[in-house]
């Protein structure tokens, strides 16, 4: 900021008739004194003097008393009163930047005191260029050299380079150096020669050949202090924020070393260990199997002889011997359930209309809740629990301050336009510089993007009869005084004046024609520039008098290291946000018009991406409607399959040849029954939605898309098992159709109850999750599955009895009153053949899988290997959900997220909120007291572990802390705002007379009769508690300005919403009688977050830092950023997954244990199968690059439920089998239930899933299509391949009670292959 330094060079010397052939360099001599002619550039030259220093007069002494006390205490000086006054006024602006660190300020001003007024000035200053004055009576000094040692330069520069500017989130050195690329050489070069300097000053370190009188002695740093030193014994050291080398600072954060992967011989350690265990078990089992096979071959006899021997040897004694190896468990549960369901079925088929009426009334009442149904697509409702820590903190932040702005942003690139070079004549240190500019700065491109911005700012929206413009909804930081929106863009460097881009200014120094590129170069180097002298004195500040920070306005330059080679221009426009959603209606309407404008904007030279606050929610809603057809088609195909395949495909009785007989099929078909079953699925889903709508729950897109799919999966299987059990049964002599159905239902219903109750309880346990997506899904799923089960065992049972009567009466399905042709009637005693699917399973699949020991051993080996590999893959699963995956492929927001990741140079703002009152309103921290100030602030005297100090320390380690820069500190800037810069002026002023007496006097009022708030006595740059409370409100309402007295510290723009306070006022009293600060925040920025892991780590580090801060302040501290509510869950996501899945699986075990007659082994086998499917699902997620997040967790919980369907029926059938050997029992179980599982779940799901591959939604393709395929495929493989084989080795022993009650003759005595791993 050159304006801060201009007046430092308006230095004056004296002397008229002087011999200039010899420069005198002796103690007590002046090189310059008094004013000279007007400079060719700006200001005045100074007079060449070359004489002994004159006596210091009283006025000069008084002016220099505070500024240069060493000189004021002497008797000689090389400056007069006018020059001293100019010096004092000119350093006032620099004082406002550096005074927060007293040593830095004293070091800074000491050089100018010595250069201007030291009586030994000639010892280190030499005039190198003189010119005769206009009246020819003296010489003007047009260039000087000030000699400083390297040690002086280094100590001087290092003492001031770290002083911060809290309101601008940058270092003061940027203003003093004129560029963000500051170093020691550039600093001194700019201090000595900048566009506003009246003459150049060089700062050499070595003295050349000396022809002058005396010797030049460069200044030594003896009088300078290090920034960590105290200026006086009673003063404070510079703060850690302004002097990181302060020895009293809190230690830097302990940065943990990156975790090295666990490797064994260069391979993944867990994988190697698991493979070793697996191979060891594999070899042991292989050896054992080989020994048993060899032993059996040695003892092999003729099969017929062996069969006869076995048949004749079975006796009661053998049976009793067998009881030592079989289960003696009771059948109480089975008996109770069989009795209950038999009685219930008898009642249902006897009183069908009562059952239908009651069910209709109940399900109708449940579905009536749909009147209150609300579907939400708000991201916060989908991903953030209302009781989560970040959600509660967000609510507190919104209520205490204001909700975070509604973000409107455009990222513009010009990839087709090549970069170009331009010569910059601004850097005297390096001379003319050839600067490379990216294509976006080419004038025609730059102006096109400028046109885009102007178009956005002119967008209008209609709300009723009102027209809404951008200024009606945008955030106006200086309202009501200035109505400019807080737009951040490079065009703010031109104050949004497009004509300024065409301005060409001739540089008087070198004759170079300066263009808009010079000004861009200047503003990129110094965003706080208030007057670019070489470009029409144009400011770099925005129209709302704040800086347009380079890392916000430009993007895509971090890899190049030069913002002028940025690939993107970023237009950021915050809109006001309100807690009351109805107040956001105008903003939402304007955003919609803005989106339409951006969609219509087109130019072949530039590419852009954009978004508004409403964009994500709009696109989620559009996605839900966009994939309705895909989902509906998927369900339609599944429904059609169920309706058709539920019936039996028979062959013509007169040919005996298997073929499809349409007329027979019309009788055996179950189309109406299948449609009823599908209808019950829909009713159960709607009923579940209705129940929770009554309770005030909002439904989500995930629930609407997943629940029908799930209920159809788990419900249809029960229907297939029940219907196919009836189809395969033979009507007993004298038995009616209803009696047959009652008998079969008593046998099958416990199996249906087992699977349904396991699923209901598993999903109910899943609802214990705090994550809304998982919690809500589990609740809805649990109730929907329960309702579907109730409908199946009530209304469906009634319909099945009617259908059975229709079938026995040989009437056509659907048209049940139409009798079938006589040629398709079954003759007495004739049975229908089994379906082709049943024959394929029982005649092909079962023998191929279970007849050969080697095959079974290989199956176990294969599934064991996949289990080990899946466990090894789990630690490598990624966590998070990429935002663009939740959007349709053709969404305009998708490219925005890509641009955001690729080009953005700074992350989201983060606020460290300090609550200074407890829940009862009692003060825990008093901000006005010295103790309270020290716990908050970051200037001299503040605690080294204060809020600002700790955030600043962590910001210095941005790669670890994910904080991009030091925090804005309202309290530090408040101290500077209050402090008088001299005896005449400070930012805090009041009208001392007139109608506005005792009211605040703004800095822009240069004519009013105004007095300083604090005229004297400001020890250690701190107000006392009374002063702190008296003027805080004035500070927070004062607009920063470069006009008038140029008070840039006004807190309205930067901190107007940062402090929550109440005031007590009294008429006739200046300011407030008292001010109570209850909360405030300190804002900084996160580093750029480009993926989920970055967002998660940023949240974790902010949380850790806030916990550290709480240990050192008497207040509650929490971090807030707009994305925290979406990423908090990922911090505990691994634990959530483990807990949810574990609870669900344990629930499956408990229910299985109870309903499988307290058979421990059966429960273990069922649970083991479910566990293996779940673990394999996690392994497949790694293979398919699917992350762990709420969507995948929902599917994992669902996979537990579906896995029960694949395993429980076969396990129960095995446990009830009356065959002797495990192999025979496994064959019977797989033959009976395998085809039902295959047709009821696998085929149904496979047909529906295939359609999802064509969904437009990426989340559908990845998290539904891929995961559903894996769930169904893994369930089928484990249920129909692994489980039967597993049962042959480890299945529960046969229950003896059915054996005794059934009679000896029912035992199958045909030989079958023994279990090779069991002894004879």
Which stretches does DSSP call E strand in 7-65?
24-25, 29-38, 44-52
pLDDT in the model for residue 8 = 41
Q: Hey, which bits of 965-1096 come out as E strands?
A: 989-991, 1010-1012, 1059-1064, 1074-1085
Sequence-distant (≥ 6) Cβ neighbours of residue 920 within 8 angstroms: none
> What mean pLDDT is predicted for residues 46-53?
90
- Residues whose CB is less than 8 angstroms from the CB of residue 321 and which lie 6 or more positions away in sequence, other chains included: none
- Residue 508 Cα distances to 195, 1071, 1169, angstroms: 10, 48, 86
Average pLDDT of the residues in 1239-1244: 72
pLDDT tier at 526 (50, 70, 90 boundaries)? confident
Question: pTM, whole model, 2 decimals?
Answer: 0.81
65-77 burial by CB neighbour count: b if 16+ within 10 A, else e? eebbeebbebebb
Tell me if 184 sits within 8 A of 986, measured CB to CB: no
Query: In the prediction, which pLDDT does 916 show?
Result: 92
C-alpha separations of 708 from 699, 702, 784 in Å = 13, 11, 9
pLDDT tens for 101-111 read 888 989 999 99
Per-residue pLDDT averaged across 538-545, rounded?
84
Give CA–CA dist 1262/635, Å, rounded: 19
Question: What does pLDDT average to over the chain?
Answer: 82
Residue spans of alpha helices (H) in 43-143: 58-67, 69-72, 81-90, 92-98, 102-117
Query: What angle is formed at CA 243 by the lines to CA 239 and CA 248, rounded to 5 degrees?
Result: 60
What lies within 8 Å, CB to CB, of 320 at 6+ separation is: none
pLDDT at 535: 63
Euclidean distance between CA atoms 289 and 802, whole angstroms: 53
Banded model confidence at residue 1313, pLDDT cuts 50, 70, 90: very low
Q: Give the integer Cα–Cα distance in Å for 1085 and 909.
A: 4
180/131: higher pLDDT: 131
To the nearest whole percent, how much of the chain has pLDDT over 90? 31
pLDDT of residue 245: 77
Cα angle 33, 35, 40; round to 5: 125
pLDDT higher for 1006 or 924? 924
On the question of pLDDT at 227 being above 50, the answer is: yes
Pairing of strands 461-463, 433-437: unpaired
How far separated are the first and last CA of the chain, in Å rounded? 97
What 3-state class would DSSP assign to 424? strand
User: Would you say residue 1007 has pLDDT above 80?
Assistant: no
Has residue 918 got a pLDDT over 90?
no
Q: Where are the beta strands (DSSP E) in 123-186?
A: 125-132, 139-146, 164-165, 170-171
State the Cα–Cα distance between residues 843 and 836, nearest whole angstrom: 10
Low-confidence winner among 224-233, 508-517, 812-821 (lowest mean pLDDT): 812-821
Q: Check whether 307 has a pLDDT greater than 50.
A: no
Give the pLDDT of residue 730.
Answer: 79
**Integer Cα distance of 666 and 649 in angstroms:** 10
Neighbours of 81 (CB within 10 A): 17
Distance CA 410, CA 388 (A): 32
Q: How far apart are CA 1313 and CA 1316, in angstroms?
A: 8
Rounded Cα gap, residues 616 and 377, in angstroms: 9
Q: What pLDDT is attached to residue 589?
A: 95
CB neighbourhood size of 690 (10 A): 22
Q: Note the pLDDT tens digit of each residue in 135-178.
A: 888 888 888 999 999 999 999 999 888 888 766 667 888 878 86
Task: Please check whether residue 643 is in contact with residue 674, taking contact to mean a CB–CB distance below 8 angstroms.
Answer: yes
Taking the C-alpha atoms of residue 192 and residue 508, their distance in angstroms, rounded to an integer, is 18
CB count within 10 Å of CB 339 equals 11
Residue 21: which pLDDT band, with cuts at 50, 70 and 90?
Answer: low
CA 415, 416, 420 angle in degrees (round to 5)? 85
Q: Which of 443-452, 507-516, 849-858 has the lowest mean pLDDT?
A: 507-516
Can you tell me the mean pLDDT for 688-698? Answer: 91
Instruction: List pLDDT tens digits, range 556-567.
Output: 998 888 899 999
Nearest C-alpha neighbor of 126 from the set 207, 193, 64: 207
Q: Is the confidence at residue 443, as pLDDT, over 90?
A: yes
Copy the structure tokens of residue 1192. 């995948």
Each residue of 1076-1132: pLDDT tens digit? 999 999 999 999 998 888 999 999 999 999 999 999 999 999 999 999 998 998 888
Q: What is the pLDDT of residue 1044?
A: 57
Segment 698-714 shows an average pLDDT of: 74
Q: Tell me the C-alpha to C-alpha distance, in Å, between residue 428 and each of 12, 202, 527.
A: 24, 11, 20
The DSSP call for residue 406 is E
Q: Is the pLDDT of residue 523 over 80?
A: yes
Name every residue whose Cβ is closer than 8 Å to that of residue 179 and which is 6 or more positions away in sequence: 186, 190, 525, 526
pLDDT tens string 276-286 = 888 888 788 77
Confidence of residue 427 (pLDDT cuts 50, 70, 90): low
- What's the pLDDT at 131? 87
Predicted confidence (pLDDT) at residue 253 exceeds the cutoff of 90: no
User: What is the pLDDT confidence band of residue 834, given thresholds at 50, 70 and 90?
Assistant: low
Determine the Cα–Cα distance for residues 139 and 581; give it in Å rounded to an integer. Answer: 72
Which residues lie below 8 Å from residue 800, measured CB to CB, with a gap of 6+?
673, 722, 723, 726, 741
Beta bridge partners of 30: 51
Please, which residues have CB within 8 angstroms of residue 353's CB and are 6 or more apart in sequence?
none
Report pLDDT for 1243: 74
The three state secondary structure string of 827-879 is: CCCCCCCCCHHHHHHHHHHHHHHHCCHHHHHHHHHHHHHHHHHHHHHHHHCCE
Q: How many other CB atoms sit within 10 Å of the CB of residue 252? A: 12
b or e along 438-458 (b: 16 or more beta carbons within 10 Å of the residue's beta carbon)? bbbbbeebbebbbebbeebbe
Using CA atoms, how far apart are residues 1230 and 205, in angstroms rounded to an integer? 95
Quote the CA–CA distance of 521 and 852 in Å, as a whole number. Answer: 81
What number is the average pLDDT over the span 69-95? Answer: 85
Q: How confident is the model at residue 583 (pLDDT cuts 50, 70, 90)?
A: very high
* Contacts by residues 401-405 (CB-CB < 8 Å, ≥ 24 positions apart): 401/1057, 401/1058, 401/1060, 401/1079, 401/1081, 402/576, 402/577, 402/1057, 403/577, 403/578, 403/579, 404/577, 404/909, 404/1122, 405/475, 405/574, 405/575, 405/576, 405/577
Mean pLDDT of 449-457: 95
> Residue 22: which pLDDT band, with cuts at 50, 70 and 90?
confident
pLDDT band (50, 70, 90) for residue 903? very high
Q: What is the mean pLDDT of residues 692-713?
A: 79
| pLDDT value of residue 787 | 93
CB 1030 within 8 A of CB 1072: yes
State CA 495 to chain mean position distance.
34
Residue range 613-664, pLDDT digits in tens? 999 888 877 876 766 777 777 777 777 777 777 766 554 444 444 444 555 6
- Cα-only R_g, the chain: 43
| Average pLDDT for 530-552 | 78
194 vs 448, residue with greater confidence: 448
860: pLDDT strictly greater than 50: yes
pLDDT at 554: 95
Phi, psi of 1309 (to 5 degrees): -115, 0
Asked if the peptide bond before residue 480 counts as cis, ω within 30 degrees of 0, the response is yes
Alpha-carbon distance of 405 to 450, in angstroms, equals 23
Across 818-838, b (16+ Cβ under 10 Å) vs e yields eebeeebeeeeeeebebbebb
Cα separation, 406 vs 483, whole angstroms: 18
Torsion of CA 852, 854, 859, 861, to 10 degrees: 160
pLDDT at position 797 over 70: yes
CA neighbor of 425 nearest in space, from 752, 193, 706: 193
Is 1185 a residue whose pLDDT tops 80? Answer: yes
Vertex 152, ends 151 and 157: CA angle to 5°?
105
């Amino acid at each position: 900021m050159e304006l801060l330094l201009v007046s430092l060079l308006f230095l004056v010397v004296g002397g008229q008739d002087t011999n200039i052939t010899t420069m005198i360099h002796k103690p007590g001599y002046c090189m310059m004194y008094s004013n000279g002619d007007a400079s060719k550039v700006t200001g005045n030259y100074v007079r060449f003097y070359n004489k002994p220093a004159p006596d210091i007069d009283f006025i000069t002494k008084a002016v220099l008393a505070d500024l240069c006390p060493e000189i004021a205490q002497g008797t000689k000086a090389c400056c007069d009163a006018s020059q001293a006054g100019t010096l004092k006024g000119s350093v006032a602006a620099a004082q406002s930047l550096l005074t927060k660190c007293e040593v830095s300020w004293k070091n800074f001003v000491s050089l100018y005191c010595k250069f201007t007024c030291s009586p030994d000035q000639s010892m280190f200053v030499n005039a190198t260029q003189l010119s005769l004055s206009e009246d020819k009576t003296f010489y003007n000094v047009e260039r000087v050299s000030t000699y400083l040692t390297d040690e002086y330069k280094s100590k001087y520069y290092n003492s001031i380079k770290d002083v911060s500017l809290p309101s601008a989130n940058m270092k003061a050195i940027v203003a003093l150096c004129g560029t963000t690329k500051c170093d020691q050489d550039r600093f001194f070069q700019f201090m000595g020669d900048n566009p506003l300097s009246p003459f150049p000053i060089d700062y050499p370190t070595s003295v050349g050949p000396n022809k002058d009188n005396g010797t030049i002695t460069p200044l030594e740093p003896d009088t300078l202090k290090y920034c960590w030193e105290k200026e006086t014994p009673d003063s404070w050291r510079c703060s850690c924020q302004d002097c990181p080398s302060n020895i009293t600072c809190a230690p830097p954060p302990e940065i943990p070393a990156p975790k090295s992967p666990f490797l064994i011989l260069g391979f993944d350690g867990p994988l190697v260990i698991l493979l070793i265990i697996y191979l060891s078990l594999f070899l042991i089992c292989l050896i054992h199997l080989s020994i048993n096979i060899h032993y059996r071959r040695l003892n092999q006899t003729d099969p017929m002889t062996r069969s006869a021997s076995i048949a004749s040897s079975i006796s009661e004694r053998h049976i009793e011997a067998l009881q030592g190896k079989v289960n003696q468990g009771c059948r109480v549960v089975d008996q109770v359930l069989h009795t209950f369901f038999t009685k219930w079925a008898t009642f249902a088929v006897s009183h069908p209309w009562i059952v239908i009426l009651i069910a209709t009334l109940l399900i109708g009442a449940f579905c009536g809740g749909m009147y209150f149904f609300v579907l939400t697509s708000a991201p916060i409702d989908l991903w953030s629990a209302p009781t989560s820590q970040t959600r509660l903190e967000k609510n507190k932040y919104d209520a205490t301050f204001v909700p975070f702005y509604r973000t409107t942003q455009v990222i513009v690139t010009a990839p087709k336009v090549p970069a170009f070079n331009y010569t910059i004549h601004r850097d005297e240190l390096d001379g003319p510089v050839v600067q490379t500019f990216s294509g976006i700065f080419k004038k025609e491109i730059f102006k096109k993007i400028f046109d885009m911005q102007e178009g956005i700012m002119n967008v209008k929206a209609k709300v009723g009869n009102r027209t809404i413009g951008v200024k009606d909804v945008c955030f106006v930081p200086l309202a009501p005084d200035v109505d400019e929106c807080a737009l951040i863009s490079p065009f703010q460097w031109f104050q949004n004046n497009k004509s300024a881009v065409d301005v060409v200014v001739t540089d008087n120094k070198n004759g170079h024609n300066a263009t808009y590129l010079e000004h861009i170069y200047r503003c990129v180097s110094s965003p706080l520039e208030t007057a670019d002298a070489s470009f029409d004195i144009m400011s770099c500040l925005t129209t709302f008098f704040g800086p347009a920070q380079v890392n916000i306005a430009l993007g895509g330059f971090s890899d190049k290291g030069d913002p002028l080679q940025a690939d993107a221009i970023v237009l950021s426009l915050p809109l006001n946000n309100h807690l009351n959603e109805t107040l956001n209606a105008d903003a939402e309407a304007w955003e919609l018009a803005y989106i339409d404008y951006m969609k219509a904007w087109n130019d072949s030279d530039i590419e852009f991406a954009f978004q508004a606050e409403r964009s994500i929610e709009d696109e989620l809603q559009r996605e839900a409607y966009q994939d309705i057809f895909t989902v509906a088609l998927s369900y339609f195909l599944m429904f059609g399959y169920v309706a058709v395949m539920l019936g039996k495909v028979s062959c013509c009785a007169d040919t005996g040849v298997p073929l499809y007989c349409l007329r027979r099929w019309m009788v055996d078909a179950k189309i109406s029954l299948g449609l009823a079953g599908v209808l019950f699925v829909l009713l159960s889903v709607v009923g579940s939605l209705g129940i929770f709508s009554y309770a005030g729950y909002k439904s989500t897109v995930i629930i609407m898309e997943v629940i029908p799919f799930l209920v159809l999966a788990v419900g249809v299987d029960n229907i297939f098992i029940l219907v196919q059990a009836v189809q395969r049964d033979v009507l007993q002599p004298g038995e009616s159709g209803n009696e047959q159905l009652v008998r079969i239902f008593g046998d099958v219903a416990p199996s249906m109850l087992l699977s349904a109750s396991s699923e209901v309880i598993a999903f109910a346990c899943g609802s214990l999750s705090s994550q809304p997506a998982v919690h809500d899904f589990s609740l809805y799923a649990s109730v929907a599955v329960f309702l579907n089960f109730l409908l199946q065992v009530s209304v469906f049972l009634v319909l099945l009895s009617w259908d059975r009567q229709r079938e026995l009466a040989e009437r056509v399905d659907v048209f049940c009153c139409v009798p079938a042709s006589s040629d398709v009637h079954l003759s007495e005693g004739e049975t229908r053949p089994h379906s082709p699917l049943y024959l394929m399973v029982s005649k092909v699949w079962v023998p191929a899988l279970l007849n050969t020991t080697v095959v079974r051993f290989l199956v176990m080996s294969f599934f064991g290997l996949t289990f080990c590999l899946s466990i090894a893959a789990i630690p490598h699963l990624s966590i998070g959900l990429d935002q663009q995956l939740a959007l349709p492929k053709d969404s305009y927001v998708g490219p925005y997220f890509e641009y955001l990741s690729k080009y953005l140079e700074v992350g989201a703002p983060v606020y460290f909120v300090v609550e200074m009152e407890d829940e009862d309103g009692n003060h825990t921290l008093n901000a006005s007291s010295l103790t309270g100030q020290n716990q908050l602030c970051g200037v001299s005297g503040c605690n080294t572990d204060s809020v600002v100090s700790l955030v600043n320390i962590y910001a210095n380690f941005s790669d670890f802390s994910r904080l991009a820069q030091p925090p804005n500190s309202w309290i530090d800037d408040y101290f500077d705002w209050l402090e008088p810069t001299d005896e005449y002026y400070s930012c805090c002023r009041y009208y001392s007379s007139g109608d506005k007496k005792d009211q605040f006097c703004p800095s822009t009022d240069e004519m009013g009769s105004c007095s300083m708030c604090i005229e004297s006595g400001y020890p250690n740059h701190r107000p006392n508690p009374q002063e702190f409370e008296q003027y805080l409100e004035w500070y927070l309402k004062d607009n920063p300005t470069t006009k008038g007295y140029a008070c840039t510290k006004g807190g309205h723009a930067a901190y107007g919403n940062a402090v929550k306070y109440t005031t007590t006022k009294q008429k006739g009293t200046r300011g407030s009688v008292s001010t109570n600060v209850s909360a405030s925040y300190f804002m900084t920025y996160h580093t750029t977050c480009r993926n989920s892991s970055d967002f998660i780590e940023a949240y974790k580090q902010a949380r850790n830092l806030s916990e550290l801060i709480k240990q050192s302040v008497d207040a509650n501290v929490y971090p807030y950023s707009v994305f925290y509510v979406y990423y908090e869950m990922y911090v505990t996501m691994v634990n959530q997954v483990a807990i949810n899945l574990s609870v669900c699986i344990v629930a499956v075990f408990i229910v299985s244990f109870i309903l499988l007659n307290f058979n421990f082994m059966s429960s273990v086998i069922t649970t083991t199968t479910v566990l293996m499917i779940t673990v394999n699902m996690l392994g497949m997620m790694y293979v398919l690059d699917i992350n762990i997040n709420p969507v995948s967790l929902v599917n994992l919980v669902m996979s537990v439920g579906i896995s029960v369907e694949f395993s429980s029926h076969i396990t129960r059938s095995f446990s009830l089998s009356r065959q002797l050997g495990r192999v025979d029992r496994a064959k019977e179980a797989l033959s009976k239930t395998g085809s039902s599982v295959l047709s009821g779940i696998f085929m149904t799901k496979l047909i529906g899933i295939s359609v999802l591959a064509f969904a437009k939604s990426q989340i559908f393709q990845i998290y539904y299509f891929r995961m559903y395929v894996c769930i169904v495929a893994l369930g089928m493989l484990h249920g129909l391949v692994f489980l039967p084989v597993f049962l042959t080795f480890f299945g529960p022993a046969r229950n003896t009670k059915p054996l005794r009650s059934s009679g000896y003759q029912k035992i199958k005595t045909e030989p079958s292959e023994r279990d090779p791993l069991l002894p004879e």
